[in-house]
């Protein structure tokens, strides 16, 4: 099985690549820029530079690799950053998706896996939780709007051209190696610096009242692959644990792993212009189709994330790269 992953240098894509290599797939991937972020890509993966906003480059890569399955993970994936860089978010996530779909339509015969987000659902009422795939769209950030556009493009290309496209909607997923643009990794990075004595024992936070469904990224990519193997053409599949936790409770668990006292200080500058109170997943459709279920306990995930940041900040103090 030949698999191509766009955005191979991204957090989730690296875990997906490792999983697919372990499953015996021949894996190739695209990245935007050279740099240290490429160092964790498995050695078995063939890599290519690619700007997904370049339609000709997308077509050349897909013609060259001619994959059986294409996972489109190249994206601006941070909801908070989408408020700061709305134009880039829209261009990469919408125009980039069109370029990939057009390239496949004209140059390959493969299954396309599009990666959506719980942010598409946005504002939900209490009686709409947990959220299934039929939930109406009510996005509350620009990133969510771009992912809705991607979902609508998938439907158009399936209906208009008969393309083999499956969409997975990932709820919050976390793990070692995630950017500080994401809340749990941001908390862990601050706590690691506190524990190492690099900053004062104060963690700066935004809105802690939201409730989210946190899945270990290693469980998430198993779900991606199962959906790729068994998903129906045009199908949409939520992936998440089904367990909602307040962001405050996750922060408290991380602080409990720290060996020194930590003060929590709310910073209004960390609040988003518009936030979503609750995002909890109903993944019944995927579970019944594939048997997928999360395996990794949240406490282990948080320990792994904190350990990763402790190692990174210690390496930085010793003169190595972060």
> What's the rounded mean pLDDT across residues 3-14?
97
What's the pTM? 0.95
pLDDT class for 68, splitting at 50, 70, 90? very high
What confidence score (pLDDT) does residue 45 get? 97
What confidence score (pLDDT) does residue 274 get? 74
User: pLDDT tens digits, residue range 282-310?
Assistant: 999 999 999 999 999 999 999 999 999 99
DSSP3 helix / strand / coil % (the chain, rounded to 5) = 45, 20, 35
What confidence score (pLDDT) does residue 270 get? 84
Pairing label, strands 278-279, 211-212: parallel
User: pLDDT tens digits, residue range 86-140?
Assistant: 999 999 999 999 999 999 999 999 999 999 999 999 999 999 999 999 999 999 9
Residue 5 has pLDDT above 70, yes or no: yes
Cβ contacts of 166 within 8 Å, gap of 6 or more: 111, 112, 113, 114, 227, 228, 231, 232, 233, 234, 235, 236, 237
What confidence score (pLDDT) does residue 65 get? 97
Q: Residue 116: name the closest of 147, 89, 93, 79 by CA.
A: 147
CATH superfamily for 2-173+214-239 is: NAD(P)-binding Rossmann-like Domain (3.40.50.720)
pLDDT class for 316, splitting at 50, 70, 90? confident
For the stretch 198-202, contacts whose Cβ atoms lie closer than 8 Å and that sit 24 or more positions apart, written own/partner, are 198/313, 198/317, 201/260, 201/261, 201/262, 201/263, 202/262, 202/263, 202/264, 202/265
pLDDT class for 320, splitting at 50, 70, 90? low
Query: DSSP 3-state assignment of 279?
Result: strand
Task: Give the pair of three-digit tokens for residue 195.
Answer: 């524990």
User: pLDDT tens digits, residue range 113-126?
Assistant: 999 999 999 999 99
Share of the chain above pLDDT 90, in %: 91
User: pLDDT tens digits, residue range 167-226?
Assistant: 999 999 999 999 999 999 999 999 999 999 999 999 999 999 999 999 999 999 999 999
CATH hierarchy code of domain 178-212+243-279+296-317: 3.90.25.10
Q: What is the dihedral of CA 67, 71, 76, 82, to 10 degrees?
A: 140
Integer CA distances (angstroms), 295 to 2, 155, 190, 255, 281, in order: 27, 31, 27, 23, 16
Per-domain boundaries in the chain: 2-173+214-239, 178-212+243-279+296-317
Per the CB < 8 A criterion, the answer to whether 315 and 321 are in contact is yes
**C-alpha to C-alpha distance for 252 and 267, rounded to whole angstroms:** 17
**C-alpha to C-alpha distance for 208 and 247, rounded to whole angstroms:** 5
Task: Give the pair of three-digit tokens for residue 134.
Answer: 């039929």
What confidence score (pLDDT) does residue 238 get? 98
pLDDT class for 160, splitting at 50, 70, 90? very high
Q: What is the dihedral of CA 293, 299, 303, 304, to 10 degrees?
A: 0
């Amino acid at each position: 099985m030949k698999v191509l992953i766009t955005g191979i240098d991204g957090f989730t894509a690296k875990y997906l690549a490792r999983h697919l290599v372990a499953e015996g797939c021949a894996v190739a991937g695209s990245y935007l820029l050279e740099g240290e972020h490429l160092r964790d890509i498995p050695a078995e993966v063939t890599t290519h530079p690619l700007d997904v906003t370049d339609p000709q480059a997308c077509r050349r890569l897909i013609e060259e690799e001619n994959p059986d399955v294409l996972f489109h993970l190249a994206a601006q994936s941070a909801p908070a950053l989408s408020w700061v860089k709305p134009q880039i978010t829209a261009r990469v996530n919408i125009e980039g998706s069109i370029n990939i779909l057009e390239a496949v339509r004209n140059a390959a015969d493969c299954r396309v896996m599009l990666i959506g987000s719980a942010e598409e659902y946005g504002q939900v009422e209490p009686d709409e939780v947990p959220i299934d795939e039929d939930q109406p769209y009510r996005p509350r950030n620009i990133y969510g709007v771009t992912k809705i556009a991607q979902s609508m493009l998938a439907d158009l290309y399936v209906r208009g051209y008969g393309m083999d496209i499956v969409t997975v909607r990932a709820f919050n997923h976390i793990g070692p190696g995630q950017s500080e643009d994401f809340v749990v990794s941001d908390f862990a990075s601050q706590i690691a610096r506190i524990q190492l004595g690099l900053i004062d024992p104060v963690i700066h936070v935004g809105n802690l009242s939201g409730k989210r469904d946190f899945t270990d990224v290693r469980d998430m990519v198993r779900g991606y692959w199962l959906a790729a193997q068994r998903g129906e053409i045009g199908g949409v599949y939520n992936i998440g644990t089904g367990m909602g936790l307040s962001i405050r409770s996750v922060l408290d668990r991380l602080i409990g792993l720290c060996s020194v006292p930590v003060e929590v200080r709310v910073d209004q500058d960390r609040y988003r212009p518009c936030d979503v109170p609750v995002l909890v997943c109903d993944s019944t459709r995927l579970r019944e189709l594939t048997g997928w279920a999360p395996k990794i306990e949240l406490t282990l995930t948080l320990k792994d994330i904190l350990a990763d940041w402790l190692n990174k900040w210690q390496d930085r103090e010793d003169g190595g790269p972060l």
